Chains A and B, each alone.
Chain A
């Protein structure tokens, strides 16, 4: 049958089936099982009302349970099994995990994913905050916002094609059609190149390190507060350590940026430069997620009470002080929500890597590694084990979200 017709039929059957289920199950409950008449009318009404919620919930619970909850446990089980010829399986304990951790490609994926987890949420939130703050102050801000927000609607695959064109490389004597190479070839090693390719990046890196150092300092101050639970203290201390490490390494990197020998005049194949190519892939996700961060942060910025800002202005605060000392602390909880949401999206990143490099040239990430193992190597054990690693990384955020949701309901 024609798939379009099949689709139409499914809509009719699916929608009709759903409506029919809800309608007839209610009728059945009220008229046949516990009729609201006769000697037991009031008891029957109560009984029916006890059952009705579950009638409403049943299809959704089935979908949730079968398509999300059950797979978590099944994947956990599969990660301890090895498939034997003939469809049998054998329990192998942590064998899949040890095999996986011994594989250099997995360690590469893990390292890259960590890099993604730092750069993409930080980059998107920072750009989003910047865009939100700037666009809120001008008349054509809503137009600007909707244009920055637009990549949200573009698929990862579409974005991959878009950025492949940006990164395209042509031989040295031909015209460059990729924007990045065309720009790159304008630099010839003169004073302009020195400013734009060495001084500016070095300043940016140092600024990033300074921002991190400030956050570390704030975190340490928070840890020393006696009211804080000791569990949270440990988490904060670990985070502070991690950020301190990143800050130190970015200071060191700033030094190496200044002294690096750049290959002026030669077109670069950007996606094949090990380590740095990861950043060229991350730019794609930052480009997509910035709009999301901007929309949410801009709503949060508008929710800040005017009086606090007016009071700061009267006290003589300059715009930067207003932004960093008055506004940012007030929207901190929203920043955390945005950050974690983007973190989850980053953890699952698959399409971009799959379409642009497929994990070659040391750009592997966990989700693509898993896909490789599952469907190319057909190794379900290691594939499931790597899926469990992704789950493990998501779990802290899951617990945090559930904790917040419960707190809110009380």
Chain B
């Protein structure tokens, strides 16, 4: 299209810029989560994540060393505690400091703060400090100091360590990760198998009522699963499955079935008729035709449904809430765990962001690796 006369070059530039703007707009929210998951809680609350690439002013609280152990009597009645805040984690260049949380920027580096009745405190630009006063003043706990410094950008893996590898598993994400996997794998494989046979029957076998069944599948494609919650929960309780993995597998199998049959049938109908008829003439049974010819040829459709079902079961919250998670909470999945964290740790963005990113990382990998099949499946399912 671009080489056709009439397309203007200024317009091409406008197109490039608008696409770039659109892409950035679409990426920006996810980037926020991604960057935040590599920052400490303090960093997240003190500056927006978009500033994470640049040095940031960070105010931290420090305490002078324990006076009872470290004080030195320099002259009669005058005690001094000296030390270096750099060794306690202070990084970057000190811009201001203060001794009260109400006035954080009271002093510049090198200034000496007068704490009253002869007690003084000095913080130097290199992070060393001198605390001086009489015996009563230099005792008990170390003096509090608030230092605002220009910290270089810093990223950490500590959040991932806490969320995934913490042996106490306080956020519950590691277990939820495996629970999600336990839900997803059978709930993806079993519907494919069941649907593939049905799709073959609907595509290549002749029997009365076939058209009606296909119409029914198309109709069931849009039935909201909300309707199924109560009747099925009741059913599961009556036949003794109750809440648990078996129930959620069955539910996902049922809910994924219309799309599976629809996608696979649409694909199988398009396979060349000659191959199947030749095989029939050669004496192959339907079962053989299906396993030896149809299944291998339908691989792209099988793959695209598998991705759909995988994404949908991995990302699902409602079905898990209703059919899986019981009061013990042992079988919680990641989506539920994140909703829980939103409630209990709403302000702790380092935990929230990391947990959310852990849960979306796997689908993202699958998405980028298998995008070809996903697009093909979408097109088969929607464009007619």
Chains A and B bind each other: yes
Instruction: Write out the residue numbers on chain B whose beta carbons fall within 8 Å of the beta carbon of A401.
Output: 218-219, 221-222
Check A14–B189 contact: CB distance below 8 A.
Answer: yes
Given A26-B285, A402-B218, verify A165-B231 contact (CB < 8 Å). Answer: no
Query: Could you give, for residues 247-261 of chain B, a 1 whenever the CB lies within 8 Å of some chain A CB and a 0 otherwise?
Result: 001110111011001
Most buried by B among A52, A74, A153: A153
* A195 part of interface (Cβ distance < 8 Å): no
* A151 part of interface (Cβ distance < 8 Å): yes
* A227 part of interface (Cβ distance < 8 Å): no
Q: From B83-91, B145-153, B349-357, give the one contacting chain A.
A: B349-357
The docked-state distance in angstroms from the alpha carbon of A178 to that of B227 is: 37
Given A67-B255, A71-B231, A153-B360, verify A148-B189 contact (CB < 8 Å). Answer: no
* A332 part of interface (Cβ distance < 8 Å): no
The docked-state distance in angstroms from the alpha carbon of A177 to that of B42 is: 12
Partner of B250, one of A67, A138, A391: A67
Instruction: Write out the residue numbers on chain A whose beta carbons fall within 8 Å of the beta carbon of B316.
Output: 155
Given A144-B23, A295-B375, verify A394-B223 contact (CB < 8 Å). Answer: yes
Closest B residue to A158 by beta carbon equals B360
Q: From B60-68, B111-119, B130-138, B176-184, give the one contacting chain A.
A: B176-184
* A370 part of interface (Cβ distance < 8 Å): yes
What is the size category of the interface that chain B forms with chain A? 35 or more
Q: From B6-14, B73-81, B156-164, give the one contacting chain A.
A: B6-14
Check A72–B383 contact: CB distance below 8 A.
Answer: no
The docked-state distance in angstroms from the alpha carbon of A54 to that of B210 is: 10
The docked-state distance in angstroms from the alpha carbon of A179 to that of B50 is: 8
Instruction: Write out the residue numbers on chain A whose beta carbons fall within 8 Å of the beta carbon of B349.
Output: 165, 168, 177
Chain B nearest CB: distance from A46 CB in Å?
Answer: 12
Given A175-B47, A337-B383, verify A61-B317 contact (CB < 8 Å). Answer: no
Chain B nearest CB: distance from A406 CB in Å?
Answer: 6
Chain A nearest CB: distance from B97 CB in Å?
Answer: 19
* A154 part of interface (Cβ distance < 8 Å): yes
Chain A nearest CB: distance from B205 CB in Å?
Answer: 4
Check B224–A154 contact: CB distance below 8 A.
Answer: no
Partner of B222, one of A49, A64, A160, A344: A344
Check B220–A53 contact: CB distance below 8 A.
Answer: no
Instruction: Write out the residue numbers on chain B whose beta carbons fall within 8 Å of the beta carbon of A151.
Output: 26, 30
Chain B nearest CB: distance from A37 CB in Å?
Answer: 14
Partner of A67, one of B195, B218, B254, B360: B254
The docked-state distance in angstroms from the alpha carbon of A152 to that of B310 is: 13
Instruction: Write out the residue numbers on chain A whose beta carbons fall within 8 Å of the beta carbon of B286.
Output: 26, 49, 52, 56
Given A152-B367, A179-B50, verify A67-B228 contact (CB < 8 Å). Answer: yes
* A80 part of interface (Cβ distance < 8 Å): no
The docked-state distance in angstroms from the alpha carbon of A176 to that of B183 is: 39
Instruction: Write out the residue numbers on chain B whose beta carbons fall within 8 Å of the beta carbon of A355.
Output: 317, 338-339, 342
Check B257–A64 contact: CB distance below 8 A.
Answer: yes
Closest A residue to B346 by beta carbon equals A164
Closest A residue to B51 by beta carbon equals A175
Partner of A155, one of B1, B191, B359: B359
The docked-state distance in angstroms from the alpha carbon of A282 to that of B4 is: 39
* A50 part of interface (Cβ distance < 8 Å): yes
* A377 part of interface (Cβ distance < 8 Å): no
Check B318–A350 contact: CB distance below 8 A.
Answer: yes
Instruction: Write out the residue numbers on chain A whose beta carbons fall within 8 Å of the beta carbon of B249.
Output: 10, 14
Check A144–B22 contact: CB distance below 8 A.
Answer: yes
Instruction: Write out the residue numbers on chain A whose beta carbons fall within 8 Å of the beta carbon of B339.
Output: 157, 354-355
Partner of A162, one of B30, B44, B210, B290: B30
Instruction: Write out the residue numbers on chain B whose beta carbons fall within 8 Å of the beta carbon of A158.
Output: 33, 315, 335, 338, 356, 359-360
Given A11-B185, A18-B190, A147-B26, verify A155-B201 contact (CB < 8 Å). Answer: no
Check A334–B366 contact: CB distance below 8 A.
Answer: no
Check B33–A319 contact: CB distance below 8 A.
Answer: no
* A296 part of interface (Cβ distance < 8 Å): yes
Check A56–B254 contact: CB distance below 8 A.
Answer: no
Instruction: Write out the residue numbers on chain B whose beta carbons fall within 8 Å of the beta carbon of A134.
Output: 15, 18-19, 22
* B300 part of interface (Cβ distance < 8 Å): no
The docked-state distance in angstroms from the alpha carbon of A174 to that of B331 is: 39
Given A68-B223, A165-B349, verify A59-B197 contact (CB < 8 Å). Answer: yes
Check B231–A138 contact: CB distance below 8 A.
Answer: no
Check A166–B44 contact: CB distance below 8 A.
Answer: no
Check B223–A72 contact: CB distance below 8 A.
Answer: yes
Check B230–A383 contact: CB distance below 8 A.
Answer: yes
Identify which of residues 353-392 in chain A touch chain B, using a CB-to-CB cut-off of 8 Å.
354-355, 367, 370-371, 374-375, 380, 383-384, 387-388, 390-391
* A156 part of interface (Cβ distance < 8 Å): yes
Chain B nearest CB: distance from A178 CB in Å?
Answer: 8
Given A67-B228, A67-B257, verify A10-B245 contact (CB < 8 Å). Answer: yes
Closest B residue to A319 by beta carbon equals B11
Instruction: Write out the residue numbers on chain B whose beta carbons fall within 8 Å of the beta carbon of A61.
Output: 198, 213
Partner of B23, one of A74, A148, A160: A148
Partner of A384, one of B230, B254, B290, B311: B230
A-B contact pairs, 15 of them (CB 8 A): A7-B186, A14-B249, A15-B190, A23-B287, A56-B201, A68-B254, A75-B228, A75-B231, A141-B19, A155-B314, A158-B33, A158-B359, A174-B45, A179-B29, A401-B218
Instruction: List chain A positions with a Cβ less than 8 A from chain B.
Output: 3-4, 6-7, 10-11, 14-15, 18-19, 22-23, 26, 30, 49-50, 52-54, 56-57, 59-61, 63-64, 66-72, 74-75, 78, 127, 130-131, 134-138, 141, 144, 146-158, 160-166, 168, 170, 174-179, 182, 287, 290, 292, 295-296, 299-300, 309-310, 313, 319, 333-334, 337-338, 341, 344, 347-348, 350-351, 354-355, 367, 370-371, 374-375, 380, 383-384, 387-388, 390-391, 394, 397-398, 401-402, 404-406, 408-409
Instruction: List chain B positions with a Cβ less than 8 A from chain A.
Output: 1-2, 4-7, 11-12, 15-16, 18-20, 22-23, 26-30, 32-33, 36, 44-50, 178-179, 181-183, 185-186, 189-191, 193-195, 197-198, 200-202, 205-207, 210-211, 213-232, 234-235, 245-246, 249-251, 253-255, 257-258, 261, 285-287, 290, 311, 314-318, 321-322, 331, 335, 338-339, 342, 349, 352-353, 356, 359-360, 363-364, 366-368, 371, 374-375, 378-379, 382-384
A179-B50, A296-B383 given; 15 more Cβ-contact pairs under 8 Å: A7-B183, A11-B186, A18-B193, A26-B285, A64-B258, A71-B229, A141-B19, A155-B360, A155-B363, A157-B359, A287-B29, A348-B224, A351-B317, A405-B215, A405-B218
